[in-house]
């Protein structure tokens, strides 16, 4: 099975060999013209390949007992695509719900891939005259609050770090917690991205942003660079974070291992925390303690729309707890039997009087 992303070179891919030619053109357009990230393109690739495999099986182009993941759809042509109906798309969504147990979020992503492809085929390339995804509603998704470490947990994570390259790993976690960068952004940083007061970050779609460094980041970077300069086997001299063993740019998987180990040492493993949760933590702490407004936070995080950043305006658990204690009923404890009626009446009268006075 061909894949889009090379784990060792995430920004490089080989030619597509198992998808229709029109899908390949759409992916190249999305990458070169729209500037979408490799991960987004990879998602399109997988979703569209699954869709056309499903249609090949449903339309009888392959034996009915063929495994879906083994179907080659590279020979599907434009007339086949032109015949795709809205009903077939609904059937595909039903199939991935029932047969593949896809969640609402996964179905929404797959539908988004289809909408993007057919929009390209009808509006950009003008190869189709109708868009079968028009008026198909995106599956409703539950809005989840971002999971993040508390201030105390963040301090514990830094305090309890034990590793064979303390300066590097401490610097990695410090940047995550203070700058709110993505894993791919941290791994891809170069030495010359570090300025006097800022660090240059290349985000999704190769969009560049500058993030100011605070004293903690400056201190951690200085100590790490001094330690890095002592490496005798440094191969990739421009890469900021490197492996002590190979002297080459550190991999995303290795950074995940470093963070997981640090969480375990701080007694925070098993709580669902990860490198991406450190990004959530940075954003949440900036908003709660730094009096950072949404527009500034949007720029720091590299969000395209401020609506994405608004998830960090969530109410903290402490505020929810205080709100629960603030209700006038919070201290009421009724007694059993006869006393209940007396206490209940006096409470009603007391608050009725307050209500009428207001």
CB 10 within 8 A of CB 38: yes
44 annotated active-site: no
Put residue 180 in one of left, alpha, beta given phi > 0 → left and psi -120 to 50 → alpha.
Answer: left
Q: How far is the C-alpha of 62 from the C-alpha of 56, rounded, in Å?
A: 7
CB 102 within 8 A of CB 145: no
Which of 107, 182, 277, 280 is labelled catalytic? 182
Beta bridge partners of 210: 200
148 annotated active-site: no
CB 116 within 8 A of CB 44: yes
Which of 204, 223, 244, 314 is labelled catalytic? 204
Give 72: exposed, middle or buried? Use CB within 10 Å, 0-12, 13-18, 19+: middle
280 annotated active-site: no
Which of 119, 200, 209, 276 is labelled catalytic? 276
Which of 16, 45, 287, 312 is labelled catalytic? 312
Q: How far is CA 269 from CA 157, 172, 239, 258, 261, in A?
A: 11, 18, 29, 12, 8
Which of 277, 279, 288, 298 is labelled catalytic? 279
Element (H, E) at 208: strand 208-212
276 annotated active-site: yes
Q: Which residues of 117-134 are buried (b: 16+ CB within 10 A; e: fewer)?
A: bbebbbeeeeebeebbbe
Closest of 241, 265, 266 to residue 254, by C-alpha: 241
130 annotated active-site: no
CB 4 within 8 A of CB 45: yes
CB 197 within 8 A of CB 213: yes
182 annotated active-site: yes
Q: How far is CA 315 from CA 5, 118, 180, 214, 311, in A?
A: 38, 40, 19, 26, 10
Q: How far is the C-alpha of 130 from the C-alpha of 58, rounded, in Å?
A: 22
Q: Which residues are catalytic?
A: 182, 204, 276, 279, 303, 312
């Amino acid at each position: 099975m061909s894949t889009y992303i090379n784990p060792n070179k995430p920004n490089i891919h080989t030619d597509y060999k198992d998808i229709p030619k029109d899908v390949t053109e759409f992916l190249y357009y999305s990458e070169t013209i729209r500037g979408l990230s490799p991960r987004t393109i990879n998602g399109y690739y997988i979703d569209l390949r699954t869709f056309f495999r499903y249609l090949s099986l449903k339309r009888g182009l392959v034996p009915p007992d063929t495994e879906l993941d083994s179907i080659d759809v590279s020979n599907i042509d434009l007339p086949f695509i032109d015949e795709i109906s809205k009903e077939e798309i609904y059937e595909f969504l039903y199939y991935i719900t029932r047969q593949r147990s896809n969640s609402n979020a996964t179905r929404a992503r797959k539908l988004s891939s289809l909408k993007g492809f057919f929009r390209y085929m009808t509006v950009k390339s003008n190869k189709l005259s109708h868009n079968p995804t028009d008026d198909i509603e995106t599956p409703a998704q539950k809005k989840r609050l971002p999971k993040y470490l508390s201030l105390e947990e963040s301090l514990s994570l830094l305090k309890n770090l034990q590793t064979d390259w303390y300066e590097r790993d401490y610097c990695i976690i410090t940047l995550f917690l203070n700058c709110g960068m993505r894993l791919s952004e941290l791994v891809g940083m170069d030495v010359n991205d570090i300025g006097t007061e800022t660090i240059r970050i290349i985000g999704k779609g190769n969009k560049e942003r500058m993030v100011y460094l605070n004293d903690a980041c400056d201190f951690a970077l200085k100590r790490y660079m001094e330690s890095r300069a002592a490496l005798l086997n440094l191969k990739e001299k421009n890469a900021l974070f490197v492996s002590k063993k190979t002297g080459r740019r550190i991999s995303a998987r290795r950074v995940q291992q470093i963070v997981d180990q640090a969480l375990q040492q701080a007694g925070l493993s098993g709580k669902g925390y990860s490198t991406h949760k450190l990004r959530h933590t940075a954003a949440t702490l900036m908003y709660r303690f730094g009096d950072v407004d949404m527009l500034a936070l949007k720029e720091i995080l590299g969000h395209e729309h401020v609506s994405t950043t608004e998830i960090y305006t969530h109410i903290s658990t402490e505020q929810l707890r205080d709100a629960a204690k603030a209700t006038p009923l919070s201290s009421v404890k009724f007694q059993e039997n006869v006393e209940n009626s007396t206490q209940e009446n006096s409470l009603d009268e007391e608050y009725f009087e307050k209500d009428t006075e207001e």
